[in-house]
Amino acid sequence: MPRTGKINCSVSFVVSWETQPLRYYGAYVRNFIVSQLAMMPIKPILSILSPQAERARLSILIFHRVLSQPDPLFPGGVDVRQFDEMLQWVKRWCNVLPLDEATARLKAGTLPARAAAITFDDGYADNHDNALPILQRHGLSATFFIATGYLDGGRMFNDTVVEAVRNTTAEQVDLQEFDLRPPSGASHWPLGSAAARAEVIGAILASIKYVEPAQRLGLADAIAARFGAELPTDLMMSSAQVRSMRRAGMQIGAHTHTHPILARLDKQSVRDEILLGKNRLEALLDEPVTMFAYPNGRPSKDYVAESVEAVRELGFSAAVTTAVGAADQASDPYQLPRFTPWDRRRTGFGLRLAANLVGKRPVRL
């Protein structure tokens, strides 16, 4: 006999729990929820879509930075006010667990209803300066995945480009020697507005993102030099800040050493990158590091089956991707999906969080 889930008595839907998990109902159920439950309380919706125990779903949220103030170059970026607001919602609606505990309980079938975990990628200094105090204020834990090659004054290639464009005083720039021309066909990229600068940043990063790692760093430096701007050396965390995060109760996970696209590396280089990052963090923290995040994280494009095998063989207990979805007991613990709603309003954020719980199949390579 099918069971019926009801919310506020105004909408009901029938789900055959005994015959098939809810996620296999696909887009129809997802669209139904979004369109019909827009005015409903979020927590009861999540309780139905993310029950406890064997039928549990784990929502793993992903962040990168928490800015001190809005960034005109990236208006969609999360700042301290928005992060604080998001944590208020998540704490009210979800049972937030440390990632290692959440993944172990997912496997054991003992997750609570509305289970969630919070993660950050890369190791930006604002994670320590801005995100940590807000997490502590809300009594929440998060896992921070660190690319160890950029600790203590390093800078990722994308930030070299971003900060060069941000800080230049030039009104235009010629990048034709790098085969980069504006869509207009002009010889120079205009730099007179935030939107114009964001456009050239996007074009540069798209052109070099999947270049071989060592060449990519060189290209980023060469392109940045054309802007004639001073570049910051404090974007990433210091070793002391990583230790401080751990002492504060946060979890630290590995994210390789130099953040390469693993799918572009040979098998030995993949293992070397992953192991170097793991070993450096373990030496820094004097404890095992058991969680891993794939750089960029898209299945097949950014990592492949050999990457997953390397993570498993090198002693990690779980790994996260950037594939959209929520994990369940059928999920590969070494390819767990992550997702964060981009909505800035409470209802939209909550409904998108709910929609992410249905219609997504496990990540498999």
**Phi, psi values for residue 311, rounded to 5°:** -60, -45
HSE-up of residue 47 (Cα within 13 Å, Cβ side): 10
Backbone angles phi, psi at 190, to 5 degrees: -70, 150
Q: Assign residue 122 a region: left if phi > 0, alpha if psi is -120 to 50, beta otherwise?
A: left
pLDDT > 70? residue 242: yes
DSSP 232: -
The CATH number corresponding to 19-152+234-355 among 3.20.20.370, 1.10.1740.110, 3.40.470.10, 3.30.70.141 equals 3.20.20.370
Q: Are 117 and 100 in contact (CB under 8 A)?
A: no
**CA 31 – CA 8 distance, rounded (Å):** 19
Tell me what pLDDT residue 144 has.
98
Condensed to tens digits (0 to 9), the pLDDT of residues 262-283 reads 999 999 999 999 999 999 999 9
Q: Give the residue-averaged pLDDT of 224-249.
A: 97
Domain spans of the chain, in order of start: 19-152+234-355, 157-225
53-73 pLDDT, tens digit per residue, is: 999 999 999 999 999 999 999
Burial class (CB in 10 A: 0-12, 13-18, 19+), 157: buried
pLDDT of residue 212: 84
Please write the tens of the pLDDT for every residue from 287-339: 999 999 999 999 999 999 999 999 999 999 999 999 999 999 999 999 999 99
Average pLDDT over residues 178-198: 95
Round to whole Å and give the CA distance between 126 and 319: 23
The pLDDT score that the predictor gives to residue 15 is: 40
pLDDT at 22 over 80: no
Task: Provide the pLDDT for residue 1.
Answer: 39
Measured CA to CA, the distance from residue 127 to residue 64 in angstroms comes to 8
**pLDDT grade, residue 213 (50/70/90)?**
confident
- pLDDT at res. 33: 54
Nearest 5 degrees, angle CA 7-CA 360-CA 143?
90
The neighbouring-strand residues paired with 143 are 119, 251
Structure-token pair, residue 195 = 């939107």
DSSP 93-106: H-EE--HHHHHHHH
- For the stretch 135-184, pLDDT in tens is 999 999 999 999 999 999 999 999 999 999 999 999 999 999 999 999 99
Q: Give CA separation, 223 vs 174, 183, 184, 198, 201, in Å.
A: 10, 18, 20, 15, 11
Cα distance between residue 22 and residue 48, in whole Å: 10
Percent of residues, the chain, with pLDDT higher than 70: 88
DSSP string, 150-168: GTTT---HHHHHHHHHHH-
pTM exceeds cut of 0.85: yes
- Confidence label for 36 from pLDDT (cuts 50, 70 and 90): low
pLDDT for res 182 = 94
Angle between helical axes of 305-313 and 267-285 (0-180°, round to 10): 40
Amino acid at 306: E
Q: For residue 355, give Cα distances in angstroms to 50, 96, 256.
A: 11, 18, 31
Enumerate long-range contacts of 268-273, CB under 8 Å, 24 or more apart.
270/306, 270/307, 270/310, 271/310, 271/313, 271/314
**Residue scoring higher pLDDT (15 or 88):** 88
CB atoms within 10 A of CB 142: 23
